[in-house]
Amino acid sequence: MTASIHPNSPVPNSPETSGMPNPRFSFPSRLDRYLLTEMIAPFIFGFGLFTAIAAVIGTVFYLIRLMVDSQLPLFTAIEVFFLRLPTFAVLGVPMSVLFCSLIAYSRLSRRSEIIACKSCGISPQRLVVPALLGGVLAMILTFVLNEAIAPALSYRGHLILAIQLEESALPYRDANIFYRQFQDQRLAQIFFAHTFDGEAMGDVTVLNFDQGQLKEMVLADTAIWNEADQAWDFHQGSIYQVNPDQSYQTVRPFSLAQFDYSRTPLDLAWETRVPEHMSSQDMRHYIKILRQSGDQRQVRHWQVQLQDKASLPLVCLSFALIGSVLGINSPRSNRSRAFGLSVVIIFGYYIFAFICTAFGEGGMISPIMAGWLPKGILTLLGLGLLYQASRQ
Task: Concatenate the DSSP letters of all residues of 285-352 into one string.
Answer: HHHHHHHHHT-HHHHHHHHHHHHHHHHHHHHHHHHHHHHHHHHHT-TT--HHHHHHHHHHHHHHHHHH
Tell me the chain's radius of gyration from C-alpha atoms: 30
Residues ≥6 apart with Cβ < 8 Å to 275: 283, 302, 305, 306, 309
- Can you give the pLDDT at residue 391? 77
Share of the chain above pLDDT 70, in %: 89
Confidence check: pLDDT of 29 > 90: no
- pLDDT of 19 > 60? The answer is no
Angle between helices 61-69 and 74-110 (to 10 degrees): 160
Residue 357 has pLDDT above 80, yes or no: yes
Q: Are 234 and 251 in contact (CB under 8 A)?
A: no
Max mean pLDDT among 38-52, 155-169, 376-390 falls in 38-52
Whether residue 21 has pLDDT greater than 70: no
* Other Cβ atoms closer than 10 A to 256: 10
Q: What is the pLDDT of residues 208-254, one digit of tens each?
A: 998 888 899 999 999 999 999 999 999 999 999 988 777 777 788 99
The pLDDT, as a whole number, for residue 6 is 45
Cα distances from 22 to residues 32, 60, 119, in angstroms, run 11, 50, 14
- Whole-model pTM: value is 0.80
Q: How many CA atoms lie within 13 A of 364 on its CB side?
A: 7
- Cβ neighbors of 27 (< 8 A, separation 6 or more) are 129
Per-residue b/e over 306-334, b at no fewer than 16 CB within 10 Å?
Answer: bbbbbbbbbbbbbbbbbbbbbbbbbbebe
Q: For residue range 89-113, list pLDDT tens digits in order.
A: 999 999 999 999 988 888 888 888 8
Instruction: Please tell me the predicted confidence (pLDDT) of residue 108.
Output: 86
How much is the mean pLDDT over the chain? 86
Q: Is the pLDDT of residue 14 over 90?
A: no
Spatial distance between the Cα atoms of 381 and 387, rounded to a whole number of angstroms? 10
Task: Give the integer Cα–Cα distance in Å for 391 and 329.
Answer: 12
Residue 186: per-residue pLDDT? 82
pLDDT score for 13: 46
DSSP 67-93: HHHS---HHHHHHHHHHHHHHHHHHHH
CA distance 311 to 143: 10
Q: Residue ranges per domain, the chain?
A: 21-167+311-391, 175-269
Is the pLDDT assigned to residue 149 strictly greater than 90? yes
